Structure 1
Amino acid sequence: MLDKELMKGNVSGAKVSIRSPALTHVMYADDIVLFSKATRHDARTLSTCLEKYCDWSGQSINRAKSSIFFSKHILAENRRAIKLEFGMRKLKKDAIYLGAPLFPTRSPSRDFKFLEDKLEAKLVGWRSRCLSWAGRATLIKTVAHSIPTYTLSAFNVPSNSCNKLDAATRQFWWKPKDRGSRYIAWASWDKLCRPKKFGGLGFKKTKEMNLALIAKFAWFVASNRQSLCMDVLRSKYKVNSGWLTANSVAIASPTWRAIEEAKKLVTKGGCFIIENGKSVQVWSDPWVPEAVNFMPQPKLEEYRKLTIKVSELIDPTTKSWISDWVKELFAPTDARAILNMSIPMSQKEDKLVWLPDSKGRFSVKSIHNVAFAHPDCARQNIQTRFNEIVKVSSSTTQHPKEIISKNWTPPPSGYIKLNVDAAIQQDSSSALAVVARNHLGEVLSIWAKKHHSSSPAIAEAEALYWTVNLAVKEGWKSVIFEGDAKNCLEPLINPDFPSDWLTHNIICNVRSLVVAFDFVKFCWVRRTCNSAAHVAAKFALKSDFEFRFNKGNLPPSLEAVCRDDSVACIPVLL
């Protein structure tokens, strides 16, 4: 009803800027906040809408608990008329909603004093109990740390208030029976706040949690999350595509200033995955996962003065990097890293992903671990995590309850099965191999070639993409693709399963090719069922040339493994 009245012009709504969407209402659970101009006409229209809603739904408004807030410079006469129309009182300046102040004052420490009172009320009850060290640790993690979570996620709580919360928690930990008395701290608070695997107890510092929770909003703004709140913030503060690395605005609310500060945390793990490259600046935005701070270094320092977008480095016809320009602009190490990055054929908007997570998903826990790691724990930095993701992405671990064949099985009659695998050496040289067989287990072709890849995960994905390309060129229409790289195959088997950011663009290219088939199926199998492709990849590592074998000219090692598969195979029907 309110949206309909807004379209008719009967309600004006409220705008925070010229480009901002007009707000008429915001709902939370069974509460609603209405916005409009302070005119009698708008008040009458809103009142009529509320009465209609109450008549239709059978619900009623609790006017005793409802209030009205007016902005400055509203005439007293209009205020009285509007309050009379709604039958509500004026909202007090010290009003509390959802346990937090609606209107912060110039004394932030006083505004958030209620957090200390809430925590102390819990500690009073706990002090009367005889709690073990484990019991105290459990209460601190599950209750004391959760009490201020909502407020910490919505406000920039002053450091003074956060320190007092930490002090009360430390007092309870070391000397739970007495409040405010002196105690001996046998270990520093910094050490207790380390993760357990680094010798701590996993406690959290309140200010660090505050910054990590606010960084969530910075991530929403930078990643172009679509919601009413984000649209309002972007329009009010004129957020553009380069906001993540831009300078902070001079005049802003305390919350927005905190969000601007939280950008520093987001840049520690946030990186753009290039699709069309139109929204990413070459020198100021993070977009190269293997580069320092995810930003490439120029070959010559004067190149930084050039305003270039990543899309200008991509050939629009071949959807590949313009290698000559890349080698000319960037330092050799970064140039190689860029040229190894895949570009999707069906280009979409560039996407900001969180590199410490293999799926690129941002979480408060992850950013807290990355941004506030103790110096002794800093060895597990982004680059180390990057290497872990590479290993996990190429893992072939199976679910324990799955019942999977231990031997290669042939496809049904009329279908072609292509087994694919990749082998990689420590010097980053790799080999890709494909084995194509029919329903009798007969080898139609075996392809293999050398390939330079920075990780096993990328090598496996590139092998899969090459395999699909070969099947298209051969003109096969009913095909089954089989491999042992689960993280590459699962997004193709189940479209709802997210792909790893490391192989996202390659998987997108695979999806763009499968439309050429009448029937296509992707299957994940264990290494024992993919031995022919595995042996072919190992064989290719020792060769310096690309080859294609047919049934009549197979090397002895490949002939033996294919013969073993054909002996054990039993034809199946789909």
Structure 2
Amino acid sequence: MIKAQNDRSIQGVKVARAAPAINHLLYADDVLMFFKATKNSCAVVHNIVQKFGTMTGLWMNHQKSEIQFSPNISHHGGNILAKIINCRHVDHLSKYLGGFIDGPNTARRNASLILDNMQKKLAGWKAKLLSQAARTTLIKAVVSAIPIYHLQHTWLNRSQANKCDATMRKFFWGQWEETKAPPMISWTRLCAQKREGGLGFRQMSKLSEALLAKQGWRILTLERSLVSQIFMGKYRSSVENYNLTPKTSASPLWKKICQASKIVTEHMGWRVGNGEKINLYDSKWIPPDSHNHNFTTLGELMIPGGYWDREKVNQVYTGRNRSFILDTVVSRTQVEDKRIWTLTCNGEFNVKKAYQVLSTEIPRQRQYSCKWNRLWQLPLPQKIIHFWWKNLNAGLPLRDTLVRRGYKIPTTCPFGCDTPETEIHIFKQCQFAKRVWFASRWNIRTEHIGNQSMSNWIRQLLNDGHPAGQNHYHNLILPLLTICWSIYTQRNEILFQQGKADVMECLHRAYRVLDALQHTKTLPTQDPFFKCDIPRRQRRDVDRLEDPHSHHLNLFCQWTQDSVKRKKVFGIFRQHTDNPQPVCYLVTDWDQDKRLGLLRNIRNFLQSYGTESSTSITINIPDTLIANFMASNSIVNISHVTTTIARRGLSLPGL
């Protein structure tokens, strides 16, 4: 296609005079072609496609291929040209990778497509059978990831983003057709980071803005990329001093990119290279303290070789700015200056970081402050962790709370007390709760806790940490969290499943969780499997290989197979007196080629030992082809390693 355009056989499309001509775009398994609608151009393109199919065996699918013409071509003329290429003539292109790329209101149709996909995905799950912790995982891992691809080239307005948020919010709180569970915690709070007291959900409006900001970053910094050349060729006049101001006649996509790129332009800076791109009066650089000079770029203040010219720097900068300039490292390899994003360590734009900045939540009231990471790191089931996350955020649907929100329900305690059901009552002051605490293994009297509620006590424990030791901390906080959760579960069974206020049932539920945790801790003493450390690659085993009285290491290779376990084992051994010592093992699948397995094991050995030792090494290989090949070819330029053909009949020790 490029050669045909250079020969002027076809003529590409330009979106602006300063933009490059485009005649094709290559994607994963599709090609978009752009050319002038003439019979000669169509014939040339048809010949190119046929020639490509002849050489590669990849032919154009005429049933899936489409051609679209500009309004200047009549429908009859378009049909004639379409027959030359042998593909369908359409008014609008079909969807590509599930998204609309052509036609009216593509952004609105893609937004509807995103919402439909989210609703279909949620409808396919048996949400009623999932706990809130499980629904949280599905939302974060699946649902919120659905729109990411489409948001690379489209956007969501506020109304569309709110609909997507509402879909996820209803799924999280269990608000389907026949049930309407009250949302006890705001969506903004749910979308906060976990270390800030949220669940880390994504707000679609902020996610859309962050992804569009990434496109703005590419346009501003990747000057040689095609997307930058096209947009800057058409809208360069809209970019002035790092401010993107679109004209009224600009495309909707460019307007949205300009609107979202504020987070990019406000945090741009320079990484100094050779100084040729950095203007001294650039708004993203340190302004000169003196104007009595003729220098225009930062490179003029440098000496060839990558050093600052102190006399020139003194003419431009004074005081702290001068010290800062002289302390700045200059490239000694003439690397070009580079625009960076100052919010990341490596200077590259990061969508995750941009989203975090855009969605920074206003600090909550002090009563909700807590070291949330300590809560999430506790070795408890997620359903208990989520229960306490809601409780610490004042999000439990207790009767007194629901009445204050307008629900017309009784406020009395479900366990038979005449007192309104509040958090401090149900976990501490209720007679049922008192019996549970006192009958537990720890014989706790709630009167000794003080005037604070159970949630405040837990919050204090999380903030203070474990000054008395990790074991004491876990032995205290884990039973408290588990028993409170069991009391609340017993309360729900009374309200919704006609349960009874059974103290022992409540305690046994908590004991099952705590005993399972204790059993997990004792597993290493019961089963050797759980004593295994994380496999780590040993760079060198001195005791096994090196002999202080020998300057030569004689090794031999062998392999065996286990037909029961369907495994092959390749080993390298050192002949030590009468007993071979294993040096390196490689366990592979049954279908592993023998020669390839031997070579892989030798490579692993050389990477971990052979390249670091001055001792001469001889490797005896039980395969003539491999031994001759390695003997005649340099083994990664290691002169102290030689190979020989081993004698037959060696067995793999230890197997």
TM-score range for the pair, normalised by the shorter chain length: 0.5 to 0.7
Deviation per residue, 1:118-142 (Å, 9 max, x gap)? 1111121225441112111110011
Structure 2 residue runs of 5 or longer lacking an equivalent are 365-535, 542-655
Superposition deviation, residue 351 in structure 1: 0.7
Superposition deviation, residue 166 in structure 1: 0.5
Distance change >3 Å, CA 243–CA 145, structure 1 → 2 = farther
Superposition deviation, residue 69 in structure 1: 1.1
**Partner of residue 164, structure 2:** 165
Query: SS of the residue aligned with 2:125?
Result: helix
**Partner of residue 359, structure 1:** 346
**Partner of residue 253, structure 2:** 255
**Partner of residue 208, structure 1:** 206
Query: Aligned partners of 2:185, 2:325: CA distance in 1, in Å?
Result: 46
Deviation per residue, 1:288-324 (Å, 9 max, x gap)? xxxxxxxx46659xx7x99974426614458555667
Query: Aligned partners of 2:204, 2:13: CA distance in 1, in Å?
Result: 35
Does the 8 Å CA contact 1:101/1:111 hold for their aligned counterparts?
yes
Distance change >3 Å, CA 94–CA 166, structure 1 → 2 = farther
Query: SS of the residue aligned with 1:237?
Result: helix
**Partner of residue 41, structure 2:** 42
Query: SS of the residue aligned with 1:352?
Result: strand
Distance change >3 Å, CA 128–CA 359, structure 1 → 2 = closer
Query: Aligned partners of 2:323, 2:20: CA distance in 1, in Å?
Result: 44
Query: Aligned partners of 2:50, 2:246: CA distance in 1, in Å?
Result: 45
Q: How does 1:219-234 map to 2 (within 5 A)?
A: 219-224=217-222, 226-234=224-232
**Partner of residue 16, structure 2:** 17
Does the 8 Å CA contact 1:68/1:90 hold for their aligned counterparts?
yes
Distance change >3 Å, CA 119–CA 24, structure 1 → 2 = same
Does the 8 Å CA contact 1:281/1:308 hold for their aligned counterparts?
no
Superposition deviation, residue 329 in structure 1: 6.0
Superposition deviation, residue 188 in structure 1: 1.4
Query: Aligned partners of 1:182, 1:297: CA distance in 2, in Å?
Result: 59
Deviation per residue, 1:31-82 (Å, 9 max, x gap)? 1111110111101111111122223333332222221111122244532321
Distance change >3 Å, CA 54–CA 243, structure 1 → 2 = farther
Say whether 1:6 aligns with 2:5.
yes
Q: How does 1:169-180 map to 2 (within 5 A)?
A: 169-178=168-177
**Partner of residue 156, structure 1:** 155
Query: Aligned partners of 1:18, 1:25: CA distance in 2, in Å?
Result: 18
Q: Could you state the TM-score of these two structures normalised by the residue count of structure 2? A: 0.51
Distance change >3 Å, CA 246–CA 60, structure 1 → 2 = closer
**Partner of residue 369, structure 1:** 356
> RCO (CA 8 Å, sep 6+): is it higher in 1 or 2?
1
**Partner of residue 184, structure 1:** 182
Equivalent of residue 350 in structure 1, options 318, 321, 337: 337
Does the 8 Å CA contact 1:39/1:78 hold for their aligned counterparts?
no
Equivalent of residue 194 in structure 1, options 180, 192, 195: 192
**Partner of residue 324, structure 2:** 337
Amino acid at match of 2:165: D
Distance change >3 Å, CA 260–CA 48, structure 1 → 2 = same
Query: Aligned partners of 1:315, 1:257: CA distance in 2, in Å?
Result: 40
Say whether 1:236 aligns with 2:223.
no
Query: Aligned partners of 2:57, 2:226: CA distance in 1, in Å?
Result: 29
Q: Could you state the TM-score of these two structures normalised by the residue count of structure 1? A: 0.57
Query: SS of the residue aligned with 1:100?
Result: coil
Query: Aligned partners of 1:34, 1:107: CA distance in 2, in Å?
Result: 20
Query: Aligned partners of 2:241, 2:146: CA distance in 1, in Å?
Result: 33
Superposition deviation, residue 14 in structure 1: 1.6
Superposition deviation, residue 24 in structure 1: 1.9
Superposition deviation, residue 278 in structure 1: 2.8
Distance change >3 Å, CA 225–CA 332, structure 1 → 2 = same
Amino acid at match of 2:85: F
Query: Aligned partners of 2:238, 2:279: CA distance in 1, in Å?
Result: 12
Query: Aligned partners of 2:107, 2:302: CA distance in 1, in Å?
Result: 54
Query: SS of the residue aligned with 2:269?
Result: strand
Does the 8 Å CA contact 1:127/1:178 hold for their aligned counterparts?
no
**Partner of residue 122, structure 1:** 121
Does the 8 Å CA contact 2:274/2:306 hold for their aligned counterparts?
no
Distance change >3 Å, CA 247–CA 330, structure 1 → 2 = farther
Superposition deviation, residue 209 in structure 1: 1.0
Between structure 1 and structure 2, the one with the greater Rg is 2
Superposition deviation, residue 367 in structure 1: 2.2
Larger displacement relative to structure 2 (351-360 or 43-52): 351-360
Superposition deviation, residue 168 in structure 1: 0.7
Alignment root-mean-square deviation, CA: 3.4
Q: Share of identical aligned residues, percent?
A: 27
Query: Aligned partners of 2:295, 2:197: CA distance in 1, in Å?
Result: 47
Query: SS of the residue aligned with 2:142?
Result: helix
Distance change >3 Å, CA 28–CA 159, structure 1 → 2 = same
Query: Aligned partners of 1:279, 1:241: CA distance in 2, in Å?
Result: 17
Does the 8 Å CA contact 1:313/1:321 hold for their aligned counterparts?
no
Query: Aligned partners of 1:306, 1:99: CA distance in 2, in Å?
Result: 58
Query: SS of the residue aligned with 1:374?
Result: coil
Does the 8 Å CA contact 1:242/1:285 hold for their aligned counterparts?
no
Does the 8 Å CA contact 1:127/1:176 hold for their aligned counterparts?
no
Amino acid at match of 2:352: K
Superposition deviation, residue 286 in structure 1: 2.1
**Partner of residue 52, structure 1:** 51
Amino acid at match of 2:119: E
Distance change >3 Å, CA 268–CA 204, structure 1 → 2 = farther
Query: Aligned partners of 1:108, 1:356: CA distance in 2, in Å?
Result: 30
Query: SS of the residue aligned with 1:21?
Result: coil
**Partner of residue 373, structure 2:** none
Superposition deviation, residue 231 in structure 1: 2.7
Distance change >3 Å, CA 245–CA 108, structure 1 → 2 = closer
**Partner of residue 278, structure 1:** 276
Amino acid at match of 1:83: A
Does the 8 Å CA contact 2:190/2:201 hold for their aligned counterparts?
yes
Q: How does 1:316-335 map to 2 (within 5 A)?
A: 316=303, 320-321=307-308, 332-335=319-322
Does the 8 Å CA contact 2:288/2:316 hold for their aligned counterparts?
yes
**Partner of residue 495, structure 1:** none
Superposition deviation, residue 177 in structure 1: 3.7
Structure 1 residue runs of 5 or longer lacking an equivalent are 288-295, 378-399, 406-574
Question: How many correspondences in the alignment?
Answer: 371
Superposition deviation, residue 240 in structure 1: 10
